[in-house]
Amino acid sequence: MLLHDPKEVVQVLLAGSPAQTTTIIALLWTWWNARNKFRMEQTQINTQALGWQTRRTTDEYLEFFGGRKQSQERAITGWTKPEVGILKINSDGSYNKDTLTGGWCYIIRDHEGDVVVTAAGRLHHVHDALQAEAKACIRAIYKAQELGIGNVVMETDASTLVSAIKTSRCDLASNGNLFQEIKAFASLNFISFDIVHCPRTCNKVADALAMHGSKMVLAPQAVWPGLAPTFAQGLVAADYGWRGD
């Protein structure tokens, strides 16, 4: 197709589906940023990373401008209990780009909101926030399998992680081995497993735990069977107001 001016280019872009148009815009934006970074820092991005960043940006744009998901999240203002027979895991990861360290955590609760186990720890040699989120998820599902839990729903406020686990889009990205490990382990060890995105207001306990984990120095990790640590108990109690009957 021969296009004669920028106006025709824009018209062709807008004529596609929302997903197609958003993907092209995300690619152009990512490509432009990569070009500028190369000019300023002489840092070159490979095609694999370019593709992953484009997919991630596309997912974020579609989610932000989709409207429907935003409306759903505005209606949910706190933690909600899972169905009977299902245990809910909330996980989170923190990341410090200056020290390349971070924290991981999870809290597992039953359909009454009672805590089954809580854990947190420190991460070293972390390359990005998504890696911290994925490592927190891995530790959580390994613990769930250790406890003999069969039906799991996992909540995270990292929408990119949810997309990476539910699709194969990020399997070849820098953290692709972690995503594939999560998917393989979940399919082999649970009767049912689902991972869903939740607003940060539903993940306050995990957020506090991950920050605590990032500051742990004397011990690499801590596990609290049947309860939450003292500093998080107020947040857990606050969640009870959103359990429902």
Spell out the domains of the chain, with CATH numbers in brackets.
6-66 (no CATH), 87-242 (3.30.420.10)
Structure tokens at 235: 């947040």
DSSP state of 116: E
CA distances from 178 to 13, 80, 116 (A): 34, 28, 25
Distance of CA 65 to the CA centre of its chain: 19
Type of residue numbered 41 = E
pLDDT, tens digit only, all 245 positions of the chain: 566 677 777 777 677 777 777 888 878 877 777 777 677 666 666 666 667 677 767 776 666 566 544 444 445 567 899 999 999 999 999 999 999 999 999 999 999 999 999 999 999 999 999 999 999 999 999 999 999 999 999 999 999 999 999 988 888 888 999 999 999 999 999 999 999 999 888 899 999 999 999 999 888 899 999 999 999 999 999 987 654 44
**pTM (two decimals):** 0.70
